[in-house]
Chain A
Amino acid sequence: MIEREVTIRNRAGLHTRPASRLVKTAAQFDAEIFLRRDKYEVNGKSVIGVMTLAAEQGATLTLVADGPDEAAATEAIVALFEDGFGEEL
């Protein structure tokens, strides 16, 4: 299991489009993916869950990946956050 801190960099936060990208990326891996904010944890493969995180710019989340390809999954998802989901920073 890998845990990693990630920060929302794009201005608009984790709104519909970034949430979709995140879930589509997570779905490519066998590892289970979770996102945690404070004590609230959602399944990273559930778009509704990710949207309800209500994560705005600057918010810090904990990314948890658990499974055979957890390293690759973590790398791919962290890259999305660092890139601000390809949106305006």
Chain B
Amino acid sequence: MDPPPSATGMDPASPEGRERVLTATAAAPGVAVGTATQYDASGPVVSHSSIAPDEVEAEVALLDAAVARARQELETVGALLPAAATDEAQALLDAQALMLRDEEFLETVRRRIREMHASAGAAVRAVLSAHRERMGGSDDAYLGDRADELVALETRLLRALRHGEAALSIEAHAVLIARALPATDLLRLSRHRLLGCVTEEGSAASHLAVVAEALQIPLLVGVPQVLQAVPSGTPVLVDGDAGRLIVHPTSHTRERYRRRGSVLTTAPETPPDGPPITADGHAVTVRANIGLEKELELLAPYGAQGIGLLRTELYLLGDTGLSLAEDEQVGAYRRALDAAGEAGATVRLLDVGGDEQPPRCSCGLRENAPMLGARGVRRLLDCPDELLRPQLRALFRARSRGPLRVLLPMVTDPEEVRRVRAVAAEEHARLPAAVRGPDSSLPLGAMVEVPAAALRADALAEAADFLSVGTNDLAQFVLAVDRTNECVAARHSALHPAVLQLVQRVAAAGRAADCPVEVCGEAAADVEAVPVLLGLGVEALSVAPPHLLRVRRLLQAIRHADTPALAQEALAAPDAAAVRAHARDWLRAQGGAAAALLQNP
């Protein structure tokens, strides 16, 4: 750990002379470098407070429509909740949903509209502020949280009354600066690839901190006057480990953090040159995982070799749910292919499923274990007309823009790949010749997440054109660990020797069948995991854009010829911790440049 920089005002050692270090309470760990974006969670101003008597029923209808929109927004947030999110985050969403169904409250608001001719917004504010007043003034931290929940409800309703026009979209890769931030807003904003978060109010024991940690977003709280000190557009470094907000960090400061292996998150001024290559000249393909349209603009500056995983269930998600209209899908895929350039895009078909994500179709009963339920390709084949066929048609129509590969989520058996291939051929034949292109074959890959798929990788490699190992889900299923369960989450590791054995098996099957094998899980961006994966025979990685540069630097610092020995050690290790220890020793032995990338040297 570095000695703490000066905590007061200007740092005389800084060549740029503008660096300032503000002390804060570290509420969620991690380091982020980005551009400050101020966020006003308080919602829009109520524009008019009273209405004419003959407008009363229209105003009540407006309120009811807004409540319905707010409920829908909450459901969307719930569907986006990452697997790592905690029970606490889910409980928060539940509470917000219950509040939106609180008939007593809603009836009080309606009565206020009808009897006092208040506008819907003014009525919501008046009723909720009366409730807050009852609870206010208490020092009890838990009571404070309850008041936060009412503020969050008010914000949500007022926003819905304005048709969601409020500042709910932020620049991707921003560091959010706010006076206060409801935890549910953070959940919603997190799909914009928020890098870090700094608030003036709040505590390390708040709901916000729990959610930020689950989302792996560094969070600082208790920074006085932060809105005045850090205008939007200011470069900042958030150190959620040591509790420091560094405004205008100097290149020296950034470099010091970079050496520590902290995530480097600002785009380079010039894109990296040439393909990623190891120190001994072995080329490794490094693609980008994309979930949001906004991220497409990062492909070029971060030097991605195309898109390795386009998560369509996120990419097609609008403010009111998935946009599945075929024409809209065509446009969305064209934009992705245009951004990916000649390296091309790998589009994963919708991985919706369980009871949690829209759209629903007739085949779903309530599922007790949605992770093991009708999701991924199972769902696609269960209801081909709603999901699979329109998506394939849209992909055929878009593919003239660039090289396109299609990836199937949650494959268990080779037969599933064959069935999708047959449906694709049917849809191709139905399209007019002018739009479908001459070639009816679409490169079709299978995600390897289900242990059965990995164990029978030889058969799968015959049926698929490429294989992509999703290490997160694979590890979850192999180790029988639910990552959302705090009691066991720490047992989850893609570096467990049992998971690595399966990766080796898949890589070997791919080589034998001339079927490329790539890894698109979090392990592909893990400095300690990458050399092991290469040693097991993996030739391509796909990572979130912020990790692209670090993976490149890692490759430049290691010798590919040394990786098989590490992989053998890893396969023979007793557990995941031992694999990590081997990998760290191996990286140190590769030299200073590799060792510098370790998270905690």
Contacts and interface: CB of A to CB of B under 8 A. Distances in A.
Given A16-B95, A19-B95, A48 B102 contact: yes
A13 B139 CA distance: 13
Interface string B146-179: 1001100100000000000000000000000000
Interface in B397-418: none
Nearest to B137: A54
Contacts of B92: 16
B58 interface: no
A47 B94 CA distance: 11
By secondary structure, the B interface counts as helix
B273 interface: no
A45 interface: yes
A13 B99 CA distance: 19
A51 interface: yes
B453 to A, nearest CB: 38
B74 to A, nearest CB: 14
Interface residues of A, number: 20
Contacts of A43: 104
Contacts of A47: 95, 98-99, 102
A31 B356 CA distance: 31
A62 interface: no
B149 A51 contact: yes
A16 B146 contact: yes
A24 B142 CA distance: 20
Contacts of A51: 131, 135, 146, 149-150
Interface string B190-223: 0000000000000000000000000000000000
Contacts of A40: 134
Contacts, number: 64
Given A12-B142, A48-B131, A20 B102 contact: no
Given A46-B102, A46-B104, A48-B131, A16 B140 contact: no
Interface in A12-38: 12-13, 15-17, 19-20, 23-24
A46 B105 contact: yes
A46 B134 CA distance: 16
A52 B140 contact: no
Interface in B120-152: 131, 134-135, 138, 140, 142-143, 145-146, 149-150
B104 A15 contact: no
Contacts of B487: none
Contacts of B99: 47-48
Contacts of A16: 91-92, 95, 145-146, 149
B135 A54 contact: yes
B142 A20 contact: no
A2 B131 CA distance: 27
A48 B138 contact: no
Shortest 10 CB-CB contacts between residues of A and residues of B = A46-B104, A47-B98, A15-B142, A16-B95, A48-B105, A20-B95, A17-B91, A54-B135, A52-B131, A43-B104
Given A49-B102, A56-B142, 10 more contacts: A12-B142, A13-B142, A16-B91, A16-B95, A17-B95, A20-B94, A47-B99, A49-B104, A54-B138, A56-B140
Interface of B: 91-92, 94-95, 98-99, 102-105, 131, 134-135, 138, 140, 142-143, 145-146, 149-150, 153
